Amino acid sequence: MNADAARQRLEEERLRLSESLASLETDTEAQKDSLSELSTYDEHQADIGTETFEREKDLSIIESVRGELDAVDAAFARIEAGTYGSCEMCGKPIGDERLDAVPAARFCVEHQAELERT
């Protein structure tokens, strides 16, 4: 994959992630508002438990989307450095097919699998 194609693919990824992050953050803001309303009523204790759980779940999704955005930024930096598309472990090409599916990929399939095992 050439640098221009990679940049374009990463821009798309960044846009997609930013949009989902924005909508997740709007959701959690809305939940926070309803949560503070609920907390003034004792009889809604059970609801608060459920809402807190939902909120924590959303927060962990937000964390992971933020992590993916960081990965996209790091991929842009690797394009500039000329190391984009090479596995950071073995230096072998990651492969266009994989880069198209995961444009911010840092490792070849083999090393990604190895990292996920540990």
| Residue 35 CB neighbours (<10 A) | 17
Q: Residues 41 to 60: which contact Zn ion by CB under 5 A?
A: none
Residue 90 makes contact with Zn ion by CB under 5 A: yes
Q: Which range touches Zn ion (CB under 5 A), out of 10-18, 28-36, 53-61, 81-89? A: 81-89
Distance CA 85, CA 102 (A): 11
> Smallest distance from the beta carbon of 1 to Zn ion, in angstroms?
16
Quick one: which of 20, 89, 95, 98 contacts Zn ion (CB under 5 A)? Answer: 89
> Smallest distance from the beta carbon of 87 to Zn ion, in angstroms?
3
> Smallest distance from the beta carbon of 109 to Zn ion, in angstroms?
8
Contact 85, 93 (CB under 8 A): yes
Distance of CA 118 to the CA centre of its chain: 20
Distance of CA 11 to the CA centre of its chain: 14
Residue nearest to Zn ion (CB): 87
Residue 94 makes contact with Zn ion by CB under 5 A: no
Specify the residue for token string 């927060």. Answer: 59
Distance CA 32, CA 101 (A): 35
Q: Which residues bind Zn ion (CB under 5 A)?
A: 87, 89-90, 108, 111
